[in-house]
Amino acid sequence: MSVSLLKLIRAHIVCIVSRMTDCAHRVAYARCGTVTFTFILIATFHMSQKRIIRIGLLGFGVVGQGVWKNIEKNRQALEFRLGAQLDITEVVVKNASKPREVAVPAECYSTDPTRVVDNPEIDIVCEMMGGTGEALELTRRALKQGKVVVTANKALVCEHGEELFKIANENGGHYFYEASVAGGIPIIKTIREALVANRFKLIFGILNGTSNYILTRMEREGLSFEATLGDARQLGYVEADEALDLDGIDAAHKAVILAYLAHGKWVKLDEIICEGIREVSGTDIEIAGQLGYKIKLLAVIARDFEANKLSVRLHPALIAKSEVIAGVDEVYNGVSVTGDVVGTTVLIGRGAGQDATSSSVISDIADAVFMIQGAPKPVISEEDEEVYRQLADGLELAVPADLAGRYYLRVHVKDEEGVLAKISNILAAHHISFATVNQKELADGTALIMLTTHESNETAVAAAKAALTAESVVVAAPVSLRIFEPSY
């Protein structure tokens, strides 16, 4: 190619680029004779004047302060990528004079949520108040006005998501909720966008960092549940309402959200198995280790496409040490997603904390900014009722008798002759057979019998536990844990 031709092409490109005002990848055409050259300009060109996107924060706790801090810290890179200026103009708090780690101009603070929700200049409402009371009412109001709402409130999405998505759809708003599940792991985007071509037969994983931290410390250091819980409290890992972490409620909220996203069906918490970690003992963890397992609090969302049944559950379970998710320790979360096209994908990352959660909130803010500037909504929009109606067409929740698997049982008994035979007879009456048996004598003259079963189901195990509890040689109600064996 001659030098003169290159100069001509360059001149054409410069002329075209000089007239571009928006930020995007550009394609320039330079004509010379009968030849057309197409050049892909990978660089991003700044607008002469960026659009200002005004953001209002409802709540300024740990996550809210993280959003402010990390936007300010990375402002130049963020605005370069987004092609817009981000301006947090309102921060609504309950107490404006309360000391906070992140410094904010005093004029930004307010105790009046209408300055965000009813303000026509606010483009994006970030709801980080938590709870399902005032947060619900304010989210409704914002979506009814067609605003974009970003939330990290998993309880609100779980309990009222169906209503809120409907309001957004009817009024031209949008509800982003990436930060509500698994902190810094982009699991919602992965299912909604990257794996859109798939049907998901199995999603399972660790969705609560606090419970995972406690189980990890119990396993590694041989600590009791109570001792580990005390350390978790001192480190600030435990929610003010401890039941959210310890009884599995927090992770169950997240499981419900994932079930809807993957299968289009809203499931109520009282319709699923939801069990926490309070009954897991050091002995359980020790025996599980000897058998080649670790104990993790697992969320499991499984769909049988042939029977068109869905199982959603949250409970501690024995999982083989060879499984990737079994190796996810401390406050980390991990999610395994099995699709019919892609196979199995595993995502691991920090599941909680200021930076991890605020990262997901900012990611949603970025998506909202692109959408406000004309980009299409996500590949599957949660407000697309028809898409989700098709996903859930005829789908039924599995009943306990449908949930088959192997189990671990711990039975506290009087150390008497014939005790094991009595337990065996009771289990046999419910068609449950032993696979392994371990016994541990206690100083008070009682004993613990730990056994694993061959395949059974929820109904049979529940009935057997009730029968064992009524037996005179049994000191306390038996504890059962499921042995989770994923079918990929």
Q: Which residues contact 422 (CB under 8 A, 6 or more apart)?
A: 471, 473
> How many residues are recorded in the chain?
488
Closest to 69 in 3D by CA, of 357, 319, 284, 289: 357
Q: Which residues contact 9 (CB under 8 A, 6 or more apart)?
A: 30, 32, 37, 39
d(CA 323, CA 328): 10
d(CA 107, CA 488): 54
d(CA 213, CA 251): 14
- Pairing, β 109-110 against β 84-92: parallel
d(CA 291, CA 412): 20
d(CA 12, CA 31): 8
Helix (H) or strand (E) holding 400: none
Helix (H) or strand (E) holding 65: helix 62-73
- Spot the catalytic one: 98, 144, 189, 254: 254
Quick one: tokens of 46?
């700044």
Q: Which residues contact 33 (CB under 8 A, 6 or more apart)?
A: none
Q: Which residues contact 173 (CB under 8 A, 6 or more apart)?
A: 142, 143, 144, 145, 146, 147, 148, 149, 167
Alpha helices in 145-224 (DSSP H): 154-171, 187-189, 209-221
Contact 339, 262 (CB under 8 A): no
Instruction: Mark whether 254 is an active-site residue.
Output: yes
Query: Residues with catalytic annotation?
Result: 254
